[in-house]
Amino acid sequence: MTPTNYFDIAAQRQKEYNPKRKDLVIVVDYRKSILSERLYILDMINKKVVLSSKVSHAWNSGVLYANDYSNTHGSEKTSKGNFITLGTYQGGYGYSMKIEGKDPGINNNAKDRLVVFHSDKKMKTWWSKGCFATPEKINKKIIDMTKNGVLVCVID
């Protein structure tokens, strides 16, 4: 899928979910391998990709590809669907950002499950327990750019 398609999907989902912030959208393409860059921050005003990165998925969701998703507490699986970014905090994995799942029955338990964006620095493997872990060197930049009201679209 080309970035142009990501912009089309992001624009359609922005209309549907009406996030507070319309300037950026995070797209996570879980059709790509955990070894690939598959997180994109899209500048919706200038129609350009401003950042791309690797991002984790949960081991219980698949080895190279996330293909088994869950909204259930304790599943330690990745959630799919659409989210809205919330505020930041210092957690067990350092600087982190809360998110809220916007799809009933698909990811609406994400906030209670503590599914967040955080650094991969303290992780022992490439896989998370369901969070969106990004490389330590750009984690803060991703979070600071997108906190407080940006749409996150997971493509599966």
- pLDDT band of 155, cuts 50, 70, 90: very high
Give the chain as a 3 state SS string.
CCHHHHHHHHHHHHHHHCCCCCCEEEEEECCCCCCCCCEEEEECCCCEEEEEECCCCEHHHCCCCCCCCCCCCCCCCCCCCEEEEEEEEEECCEEEEEEEECCCCCCCCCCCCCCEEEECCCCCCCCECCCEEECHHHHHHHHHHHCCCCEEEEEC
What structural domains and CATH numbers belong to the chain?
3-66+75-155 (2.40.440.10)
**pLDDT tens for residues 114-151?**
999 999 998 878 999 999 999 999 999 999 999 999 99
pTM of the model: 0.96
